[in-house]
Structure 1
Amino acid sequence: GYKYSESKAGSCNGNFLGIGADSCVRPVLVEQAQDPGLLITNGEFVGRWGSRDSVGVEVTDTARGKVSLVNCSFWGPIDRCIHHHAPWGQLTASACNFVHWDNTGIGSPCIRIDSGAAIVQGNTFSEGSLHVLVGEPVRSAILMGNQAASGFRVENHAGKKTQAVANEEDSIGWNEEARKHYTLRLGAKGDSRYLRHWFGPEGKETDLAPNSTWRWTTASSTLVLPVNPNKPYELTLASEVPAEAVEPQSGIYLGEKRLAEFAPGGNELRAKIPPQDSETLTLTLRVREWVPSQHRAESQDHRGLGIQVYRVTLKTDDGPEQVFNANRGEWTP
């Protein structure tokens, strides 16, 4: 990787064109930069294979200069693509492509701005639950013209110091009828808008096999689902539950109330959902974390997994027979 620091001779500025760092915990680490800045263009940055905490570009709290990223790409086992926590630094990310992040499913943002100033403009993001997190100490954050297939999502703790303009919005238009009966396919395109703290999508999407895609949960994964207020629902969860993931407290939870418990094996678990006061239902799937490589001799999977989930269906008592596709935002023929 590349480390930019300060010696007795001072710190660095310059033009870094077409650089790349493959399989690094920190492909780029900036501890200091001069005011003219580090101008990084056409960079390719890949996280360390097998890591749980790789960061594509980290700008530490000692840095005071400018870091500019243009037309760079980030992929592989990355926790955060960019982490900026320099109170007196300035970051610009423009025309970059963010492919992977949050590789352990803990809910990490693609770009984390804890302090200082930042401009995030004209970038593309793949599927992920959170694109930018802006911390309260940030002096200024301008987020403009970014595209994300399921809508550009920001967690803003800096109030008016953050300006978000002309970013792609969620294209799915929910109405009362659609919320009465719909199915969400895990692992298929468009699922990330409803998920928090899940591992990445797996399988190959096809309309002919409803269980052809899936995601693994962590020990505690969340579903954030649309509902009609003051209406009871029945939930159906299609999953494969490894015996290693089951413990006495395992199950589907609404707050601290368990609605259904998990049993080992492949099944469609059903649960009654009481009426909600709002148009959002938040459910948590809680299980025991297990590592496949520690339980199965043939496995090289060192992740801390939960259960394998294929589909989630919600239906009211008066829901239509036709099913709304929550991934695509259309009615199933």
Structure 2
Amino acid sequence: MMREILDIIVENTRRRGSPVPIPERAATGWADGLNIPFGGDTVIYTGLLYQMIPYLNSFVSLLERVEGRGFSPLVLKTGKVFGKLFNLTGIIRVSKEEQMKQLEIVRNIAKLLMKAGISFGYLYGEEMYSGALLHDLGLERDFEKHAVKVYRTLKERGVKKIITIDPHTTNVMRSVYPKYMEFDLEVQSYLELLPEVRGSVKEDVVIHDSCIYARLENVIEQPRSLLSSAGFRIIEPKRSRDMTFCCGGPVESLFPSLSGKIARLRADELRKYGEKVVVMCPICLASLSRAGLKVEDISSCLARSLEGKDF
């Protein structure tokens, strides 16, 4: 079954710019009414990951249903063929509510940057997925082709600096792209750019560090500083910071049942420390939510702390 899944991921990324196809409105609708200019020296680069989560959840659910059954390779081979002929968004169904939840997260991030006085543009429909999953799965030739395509689009639009919004996009563009090409663009996560958020929330939150941010990009203190300045009291689990524990997400596309087991282990661990867990990664958000944990993205926490303050 693994080969068939890899083929679907590669085919979708090659033809539609993301491993799981999503409609353009579902990708760019978060920017409605924000009057963000097209392109420019500095752009926010969503990498489509938050927007992709409802479709990824649906795809994982499909894989769970066919995993371990004798006909699963045939089903997935058929999916690959259909992916060449049709837009699979007509097959992978998601609710409007789930779409809007993810778009609101991206919108909050943009509004936090704007409130901090940080100017940026956006590529709208020209933005593509970073290709992180291709790299993670060892599909190096396909990853390199896609990465070069992303880079060329950015250069053609005159982009010099990228503001990323998730750990996977941050890591792959800042630390991995330069290994495959001459990459001369500055990359920073929004968590590294935002100043302190003067909020007034008085809540306890259990923090779950992203493996990618903490271990590969040294983004550890920034989210804590932001949460503290917004009024949150941070509860540190035993396995946190660069010793954080995986959410199970990285293997969900190939081994959904194993992914679920890892997510439930982490969810059970975090639940011992408090009722509300804050994450800073869309994959962690999806995996731990599927495991039944009450999870909130850090951007939602920061935005909520500013309610009523011209936000």
TM bin (shorter chain): under 0.3
User: Which of 1 and 2 has greater Rg?
Assistant: 1
TM (normalized to structure 1)? 0.25
TM (normalized to structure 2)? 0.26
Q: Specify which structure has the higher proportion of strand.
A: 1
Q: Specify which structure has the higher proportion of helix.
A: 2
- Structure scoring higher RCO (CA < 8 A, sep ≥ 6) equals 2
